[in-house]
Structure 1
Amino acid sequence: MPWLKLKLRTNQDKAQVLADALEEWGAISVTLQDAGDEPVFDTYWEQSPLWSQVQVTGLFPEHTDTDDILSRARECLGLVENPPHEIDLLGDEDWAHSWMAHYKPLQVGKDLWVVPSWCTPPVPDAVNIILDPGLAFGTGDHPTTSLCLEWLAEQTLTNKIILDYGCGSGILSIAALKLGANQAYAVDIDPQSLEVTRRNALHNGIHTGLNVMLPSELPADLQTDIVIANILFGTLIELAPDIKARVRPGGWLVLSGLLGNDQAVEVRPHYEPPFVLNARERQKWVLLAGRKPG
């Protein structure tokens, strides 16, 4: 299967932000490196880059809209024009082994694990989400997703109805159903994400309770017990009126995808009131959660 390799050049202080964003936008692997080095694909970054000028390389599915990615990168970096970049189409070599080795079973909450499909669940009796990383955003290892999964694992979800705004791989909807939710509405603007969500649900033995659809297909009067929106910062602001309206009185709202306290502070006024949101943070990413008065 061919892949697109997108190389972007940026300054040291923007490199980590851009790397996290590329993964959020669908890159199956990302690497930060000096411009002269050959890429070694990785999806974990523990330290800031040492170079003043950094090449950030993302590996995307063949039909990715690179114009859209470049536009997002321009906005992310605060530039007037697209950042310096190169786009290469890779051949049909088996690239899977260049990133599969980095995905291991991951515990994301008490008795909740995300397990790549080629691995054996380390705790068979736990709630195991079987997932193929790289098909759509949401593998459990990114802080925005792991924060959501941990929050879900702490709740009593029996008979609850969940709305998963920006479902990506469907990981949050699948987790909610496996944790006892009655129904989950998995919504995304990307048709490929909807197909991946359906596929991952079948891999996890989920045949009922999952409603996969475009946002325009949601019932007009739908309100749910929990709304989780793990999406881009700007979209959280743009969609705030609809997202708030989808939470029933007494229900919970969870917002993720916020990079740093500055974005969290900017989002809060669009949801408070009626919500009083509490923050959790991991690796500079922030989750906000609060209950709707009822």
Structure 2
Amino acid sequence: MDWQQISFEVQKSEVDLISEVLVGLGSLSITFKDAQGNDIYEPPVGTTPLWEKVTVTALFSSEMSKDYVEKTILEICDINISDASSLKDKVWEKECQKDFPAMQFGKKLWVCPSWDIKPELSTGAIVIEMDPGLAFGTGTHQTTSLCLEYLDENPPVNLDVIDFGCGTGILAIAAAKLKAKSVLAIDNDPQAVMASHENANKNHCNDVINTIHSMDQDNSSRCDLLIANILANPIIELEPLFSEFLKSNGTILLSGIIKDQVKEVVSCYSQNFTGIKLANKDEWYRISATRKFS
């Protein structure tokens, strides 16, 4: 079956109404996209903000009359179609797989989905087997890429590592495969905890990685390296806990920070950390630093 996509550019206040009408017309899916390029990176907890101007796109079967949809929307919402296009049916699983090829990070680290060719281990490649799922982190985002590149350049050999906000467990697995002595992977999302455990098992790292929910964490844990690829606000709020987790002269690796937030994060960590270093990909930044002797 072929499909057609019909888009409307609306004000934020009109989104709920037009969505209800589109559902009533039999839309198979509705997506929202910023119409003006104003990104929302870190909304307050418990909120689902929208942009001031939103592009609403509805997917219909090819049998649905575009003119009928436009006429109905115009009568109820007084909004015209901004774009309409046909969409050929495809094997969507294979289409999605094209967006997740094997990727190299630094000199040795590779993240490889099950459907792509893996590099020969004889070349010294260290392979993380990882398929995209519901939890965050497959290496495609700049924040994860920055952390993987750091680990490749600074392998945590014989170190105790904490991956706080582990998502899929990709960074915990990278640390384990780079010869960490132990890795504690922590997340507050049960789905992420499950994904991390399964991915660690798939990569034969369960003897090194212990995956737990944040509610079960023991604040007496101490580590040589703490990784937090989360967001700036929790990074700032958790500084006292992270400082407590780290051994003196241990390293902290923070990611998920946009350019406008760097100064505030650096200021927050300057009291207990030294040797602060920055790296970035596009608007996303990574911060590494050393815990001062306490």
TM-score, normalized by the shorter chain, greater than 0.5: yes
What secondary structure sits across from 1:205 in the alignment? coil
Q: Distance in 2 between matches of 1:245 and 1:207?
A: 25
Matched-pair contact (CA < 8 Å) for 2:168–2:199? yes
Match for residue 111 of structure 1? 108
Matched-pair contact (CA < 8 Å) for 1:6–1:85? no
Q: 1:11 to 1:291 in 2, by over 3 A?
A: same
Q: Deviations over 1:217-246 (max 9, x none)?
A: 122211100001000221112222112211
Counterpart code for 2:292? P
Q: Deviations over 1:245-289 (max 9, x none)?
A: 1111010001100112x1111212221122132100111110000
Matched-pair contact (CA < 8 Å) for 2:227–2:253? yes
CA RMSD of aligned residues (A): 2.8
Q: Distance in 2 between matches of 1:195 and 1:100?
A: 22
What secondary structure sits across from 2:121 in the alignment? coil
Match for residue 21 of structure 2? none
Residue 293 of structure 1 and its aligned partner are, at CA, apart by 1.9
Aligned partner of 2:36 among 12, 15, 30: 12
What secondary structure sits across from 1:12 in the alignment? coil
Q: Deviations over 1:166-201 (max 9, x none)?
A: 100000000000000011111111100111111111
* Identity across matched positions, percent: 34
Q: 1:87 to 1:197 in 2, by over 3 A?
A: farther
More deviation in 114-123 or 227-236? 114-123
What secondary structure sits across from 1:286 in the alignment? strand
Matched-pair contact (CA < 8 Å) for 2:33–2:56? no
| 1:146 has 2:145 as partner | yes
| 1:280 has 2:279 as partner | yes
| 1:123 has 2:147 as partner | no
Q: How many residues get paired? A: 234
Alignment of 1:85-104 (within 5 A): 95-104=92-101
Counterpart code for 2:151? L
What secondary structure sits across from 1:13 in the alignment? coil
User: Normalising by structure 1, what TM-score?
Assistant: 0.72
Q: Distance in 2 between matches of 1:220 and 1:178?
A: 25
Residue 96 of structure 1 and its aligned partner are, at CA, apart by 2.2
Q: 1:182 to 1:202 in 2, by over 3 A?
A: same
Matched-pair contact (CA < 8 Å) for 2:175–2:183? yes
Residue 156 of structure 1 and its aligned partner are, at CA, apart by 3.7
Larger-Rg structure: 2
Q: Distance in 2 between matches of 1:88 and 1:208?
A: 47
Q: Distance in 2 between matches of 1:142 and 1:197?
A: 17
Q: Distance in 2 between matches of 1:209 and 1:266?
A: 34
User: Normalising by structure 2, what TM-score?
Assistant: 0.72
Q: Distance in 1 between matches of 2:35 and 2:264?
A: 25
What secondary structure sits across from 2:273 in the alignment? coil
Residue 88 of structure 1 and its aligned partner are, at CA, apart by 7.9
Matched-pair contact (CA < 8 Å) for 2:108–2:126? yes
Match for residue 57 of structure 1? none
What secondary structure sits across from 1:158 in the alignment? coil
Q: Deviations over 1:139-163 (max 9, x none)?
A: 1121100100111111242211111
Q: 1:89 to 1:250 in 2, by over 3 A?
A: farther
Counterpart code for 1:180? K
What secondary structure sits across from 1:243 in the alignment? helix
Q: 1:163 to 1:85 in 2, by over 3 A?
A: farther
Q: 1:13 to 1:214 in 2, by over 3 A?
A: same
Q: 1:182 to 1:87 in 2, by over 3 A?
A: farther
Match for residue 216 of structure 1? 215
